Amino acid sequence: MILGGNIWSPPSEEAANEYRQFTAQNPSDSILSLYSTQNSGGRLDASDKAGSIASAILNAIESGTGFSLVRMSDGEGNCLFKYDGYPALKEYMLRRISYMHFGDDSVVNDNRDDFLEYMLTAIQSADAIGIPEDGAILRGYQTPEEDLDVRAVVGNRTAALAVAGLLKNDQTTASAWTNRHLLGHYGKIFAGQQRVGLISSYPELADLMRQTFGIREVVQHLIPRQAVFLNAADRKNSRHYPDKFDEVVQSIEPEPGMPYLVSAGLLAKYYCHIIKDRGGVAIDAGSVPEIWLGIPNRGLSAAFIDRWKLV
């Protein structure tokens, strides 16, 4: 039986052994004890808080106050993996997530300290943090070894550990799927806004948002498309990092309380930090642009996409 043998690019034997060691040192009851649904003393709550988060976003917009919603899931957890003693496992995860996001397996691995710092900074500055749901954590311990996506399950566990360790009393946690839970609230958030910021890889999205929500101006920052949305033959280093990343960071100039929809994969987290730091209201939207544009992705049903698409 090969760990992850039914998944593309399973870990090496060395990385597999380190995974088993990491799992033994971080068993399911230890990770799940971080959640309030599993333990009365748990700090993490991964429930659907779309209503209260939408209200907080609207309040920040109306008051001209900086705000940031970021989501820390499996990919971000890969970047947050800073534990000693697991070098092969760490490199395996960083190379896989790098290829999925940037089309080149060296980008994240070669800049691992920077990506770690981006995630830590984003967590510390956020007002609301999406985290893996406890059910997803539990499934990672119950999945047969040959079907296990080691990168994803370790990433989810690490994201939970990192957020629990950094969480402050004035921060809110919610489901990592908060971006989708907010689909029924984006109309209220963006309706009639004078200026909205947009970071995404879809040039047609700006006009779609203007027309749908009655926005006067959409300030668009176009970035390369994530490799996961491209055919394997078309995947190559997107140059999103560091080239486009530096350009976008320098060009973000929100007015106080200006809302920003950010769909930029791993780098969305730091973009959200920059937006809040400069007075804007950042929403880490993940796959929302694909949903609005009717693009099948990430296992979402056709019925779900048909319900929320804007085209």
Per-residue pLDDT, averaged over 102-131, amounts to 97
CA distance 284 to 80: 18
Q: Give the integer Cα–Cα distance in Å for 91 and 276.
A: 31
Mean pLDDT score across all residues of the chain: 96
User: What's the predicted TM-score (pTM) here?
Assistant: 0.96
Listed by start position, the domains of the chain span 13-175, 182-308
Give CA separation, 59 vs 41, 132, 197, 207, 259, in Å.
30, 26, 17, 26, 11
pLDDT at position 156: 98
| Residue 158 near residue 80 (C-beta atoms within 8 A) | yes
Q: pLDDT at position 235, please? A: 73
Q: Given this model, what pLDDT does residue 145 score?
A: 95
pLDDT at 270: 98
Query: Shortest CA distance to 190 belongs to which of 288, 301, 273?
Result: 288
In this prediction, residue 226 has a pLDDT band, given cuts at 50, 70 and 90, of: confident
CA-wise closest residue to 53 among 281, 292, 306: 281
- What stretch of H or E contains 101? helix 87-102
